[in-house]
Amino acid sequence: MVEFFDAGDTMLQSGAVLPAVRVAYRTYGQLNAARDNAIVYPTHYAGTHDSNAWAIGTGKALDPEQYFIIVPNMLGNGQSSSPSNTPAPFDGPRFPLVTVFDNVCLQHRLVTEVFGLSTLALVTGHSMGALQTFQWAALFPEMVQRIAPFCGSARTSRHNWLFLEGCKSALLADAAFAGGDYTAPPVVGIRAFARVYAGWAWSQTFFRQQLDRETLGLPSLEAFLTHAWEPSFQAHDANNLLAMLATWQAADISAAAPFNGDFAAALNSISARAVVMPCQTDLYFPPDDSAIEVAHMPNARLHVIPSIWGHMAGGGINPEDAAFIDAALAQILSQ
């Protein structure tokens, strides 16, 4: 069941104030008496709390019988404060830039003010959830005992920014977007956005081996795009898609004080025990970036997911990848 944390008027990293901010979240399990069994598991791009459910369950590493698992929805996703649900004057395209830093500050208020937590056993997440995971560890090193970011990074690389810029440009090419004040969904632009995105989400090998057919039972790439991939994007408000994209493009754990752009110093400040899991074939969070990050982190281990599923290795669809991640989560939680 989804719940809401009313954070009130919130000053953002940019200095802007967003009124009446709400963070939607879902919890699994019970907080123990020592209040030391909490896990935070933020959502990925265009995901909700439900998108993370695959990794949570009895017998899994994220076991609700053992842990109290909080899944906060990222702002912009349509559940938490977003362009689509924020009243004027911050509605639609007037929704301000919300950073990963802002999301994590709000999540910190949620876990401290609502649940009275002073320690987190683990923060973990996929993709933009991994961006938030790194940010948690850099911002609250005393509080975060362990992190397990998968298919993500501590800042958005220049190439990743460029991939996103392509997606954004495709959506904005649709005049029906009307600067964000559309009267009906800009379906052509969202379709283009989805088709651009599709080329990045898996690996070249995934498509060479025709795993799209095997997995989904669809006869062609065209059918895959039309019947499986595009509808998942058309389900989103266009301004929401762009708000989350802006969050992504701006992500950088070193942007805030005291690091002021010193990325190595920001990484070096992450004292949490960490297992960093890029996928071997991820096209926008390639393992090279993770290796560089791990080299600057004092207590981190690089643990590459050996998969041809590319970025989607972290999506929970492929059983082998899900098992790999689950095993790594179990291991780090046992340490």
Catalytic residues, which ones?
127, 282, 311
Q: Which long-range contacts (CB under 8 A, 24 or more apart) does 57-66 make?
A: 60/326, 60/329, 60/330, 61/326, 61/327, 61/328, 61/329, 61/330, 61/333, 62/28, 62/124, 62/326, 62/329, 63/29, 64/28, 64/29, 64/30, 65/29, 66/29, 66/37
CB-CB contact of 253 with 134 (8 Å): yes
- For 61, the token pair is 């590493």
Contact status: 232 vs a copy of itself (CB under 8 A)? no
Q: Output the smallest distance, CB 278 to a copy of itself, in A.
A: 12
Contact status: 291 vs a copy of itself (CB under 8 A)? no
Contact status: 210 vs a copy of itself (CB under 8 A)? yes
Cα-atom radius of gyration of the chain, to the nearest Å?
Answer: 19
- Determine which residue in the list 171, 274, 305, 333 makes contact with a copy of itself, applying CB under 8 A: 171
Q: Output the smallest distance, CB 71 to a copy of itself, in A.
A: 30
Contact status: 288 vs a copy of itself (CB under 8 A)? yes
- For 331, the token pair is 């291991």
E strands, the chain, in order: 3-11, 17-28, 38-40, 68-72, 122-126, 146-150, 273-276, 300-302
- Kindly give the pairing relationship between strand 300-302 and strand 38-40: unpaired
- Determine which residue in the list 97, 207, 268, 301 makes contact with a copy of itself, applying CB under 8 A: 207
3-state SS class at 64: coil
Number of residues that bind a copy of itself (CB under 8 A): 43
- Determine which residue in the list 3, 50, 113, 165 makes contact with a copy of itself, applying CB under 8 A: 165
Q: Which stretch binds a copy of itself (CB under 8 A): 93-101, 146-154, 236-244, 284-292?
A: 284-292
Question: Considering only residues 120-159, where is the footprint of a copy of itself by CB under 8 A?
Answer: 157-159
Q: Output the smallest distance, CB 290 to a copy of itself, in A.
A: 12
Nearer to a copy of itself, 107 or 203 (CB): 203
Residues that bind a copy of itself (CB under 8 A): 157-163, 165-167, 169-176, 188-189, 191-192, 195-200, 202-208, 210, 221, 225, 283-284, 286, 288-289
